[in-house]
Each structure stands twice: as structure tokens, then as C-alpha cells.
């Protein structure tokens, strides 16, 4: 039996020890106001008002303002093509926005489309952190595949209440090996999805490169279930660092 460990130093990281727009060598933007498959209410932009680095943190800000076809602007940063990884430990220290209608996420999608429908959910999704503002301090970790996803009510995941998600920084981690995906907060594992011997790609597409996504959505099928409180904006997710430690096989 192989023993999996992670290297002690990151192979890819952003400490955000600079000022201005996010490092273009590491981050691109998903742009648009089309709802993102979830009837979301934000327009994702590449404006510095929505995503900037200051005081050692990346700050993603959702603003109540006309933007594109929508009435909110925000940002969705992606490492695709600049940071694509197969297996590893992904560690993100962040402080979350607060208020009804906010839906921040730290997650991963496949960088290629080798399986099935060439897109979602067949190629997989790993949710390292999701939080909806109407259920403050409840943290969610999930995976989605063709066989297991929320659209057919078979997704695999868990949630845990952690006080102060919007007041303090917490460390959100994914440990991904060829045998399991484990989601942790502050070093506490609260969800593990194991690869069973019978699994093929519909159950386990997690053997190809994935990239990181950091975003703050507004409203949507989940985030907007109890409406949006316009009095809370602007709201921000602050990210202290993103670190990726490669898998080492012993």
C-alpha cells in the first residue's frame, strides 16, 4: 500500500505581499453577468474595485451597483492555465463576507474536459469552502461528479458550524490523493470522499489536473434562498495566502 504525504514547502503559492491587481502570472478572471448556472445576481469583472491586493491580503469585494445586466459587481479569480494541479494539499487562509445573499466560495474545477459531457459535473468539482450568509458560520465542503452531484441530489459532502467565519481568518484545506479527497478547516477534517475499488470516472474523475477558484457570488439558487439584504454591501472576502503543496509518494 502506497503512503501519501505532501511536501513541506509549497510548489505554487501567492502570499499577497504586494499591492494592486492580483498577480497576472498566477490569476485570471472569469467574467460575466449571465447567472453562472445558478441564477446568480452578480456581474464578475476584472476591475480593481472588485479584486485587489492590499495590506498583505487579496480582497474580493461584492458591491451593490449596476454592472452589466446585473445590480451587483464582484470578482471570480481562477488559476486555470497558471496553476493546474493533479493531487496535493491546498491551503487557503481567509476571512469571509457576512450577510444574507452573500455566497463566497473557495473551490476547484477540472482544467480539461476529458470525461463524459466535456463539462460539469462529469469532469468533477471540489468545494473546499462554501458559505451562505443566511446560515452564518455553517461551513460546507462537497464534491461533485457525474454520479454524485446536487442536481440529482446525490452529492457527497458535509457541513460544520465554526464560530467567527466572518470575524476571523480560518484555514481552509483540501488534501487530494489518488485515494481520497479530504476537506478540513483549521486542521480539522470534517469530510472525506474515498475512491472505492469499483469507481470509474463517473464516480471519481479526480485523476486529472484541477485549478483553483476564489469568488464571492450574490444571491443565486442557494445563496439567495432567503433573499438579498442590500443594506450589507459592500461585502468582502479577504485571503491571506494560497499555498499548494505537491503530493509525495513514499
Would you please indicate which residues are annotated as catalytic (active-site) residues? 125, 130
Number of H helices and number of E strands within the chain?
A: 0, 20
Whole-angstrom distance, CA of residue 173 vs CA of residue 107: 10
Q: What is the DSSP letter of 76?
A: E
Beta strand 84-85 with 88-95 is unpaired
Q: Is the peptide bond before 121 cis (omega within 30 degrees of 0)?
A: yes
Whole-angstrom distance, CA of residue 146 vs CA of residue 149: 7
CA 203 to chain centre: 20
Whole-angstrom distance, CA of residue 130 vs CA of residue 223: 10
Amino acid at each position: 500500500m502506497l503512503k501519501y504525504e505532501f511536501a513541506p514547502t509549497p510548489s505554487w503559492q501567492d502570499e499577497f505581499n504586494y499591492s494592486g491587481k492580483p498577480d497576472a502570472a498566477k490569476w485570471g478572471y472569469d467574467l460575466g453577468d449571465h447567472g453562472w448556472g445558478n441564477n446568480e445576481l452578480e456581474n464578475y469583472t476584472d476591475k480593481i474595485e472588485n479584486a485587489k491586493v492590499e495590506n498583505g491580503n487579496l480582497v474580493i469585494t461584492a458591491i451593490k451597483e449596476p454592472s452589466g445586466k446585473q445590480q451587483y459587481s464582484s470578482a471570480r479569480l481562477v488559476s486555470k492555465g497558471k496553476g493546474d494541479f493533479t493531487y496535493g494539499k491546498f491551503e487557503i487562509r481567509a476571512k469571509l463576507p457576512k450577510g444574507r445573499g452573500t455566497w463566497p466560495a473557495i473551490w476547484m474545477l477540472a482544467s480539461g474536459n476529458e470525461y463524459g459531457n466535456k463539462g460539469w459535473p462529469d469532469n468533477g468539482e471540489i468545494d473546499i469552502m462554501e458559505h451562505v450568509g443566511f446560515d452564518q458560520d455553517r461551513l460546507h465542503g462537497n464534491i461533485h461528479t457525474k454520479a454524485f452531484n446536487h442536481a440529482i441530489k446525490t452529492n457527497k459532502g458535509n457541513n460544520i458550524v465554526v464560530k467567527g467565519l466572518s470575524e476571523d481568518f480560518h484555514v481552509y484545506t483540501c488534501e487530494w490523493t489518488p485515494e481520497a479527497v479530504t476537506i478540513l478547516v483549521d486542521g480539522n477534517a470534517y469530510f472525506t470522499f474515498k475512491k472505492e475499488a469499483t469507481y470509474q470516472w463517473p464516480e471519481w474523475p479526480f485523476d486529472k489536473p484541477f485549478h483553483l477558484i476564489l469568488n464571492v457570488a450574490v444571491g443565486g439558487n442557494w445563496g439567495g434562498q432567503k433573499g438579498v439584504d442590500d443594506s450589507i454591501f459592500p461585502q468582502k472576502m479577504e485571503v491571506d495566502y494560497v499555498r499548494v503543496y505537491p503530493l509525495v509518494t513514499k
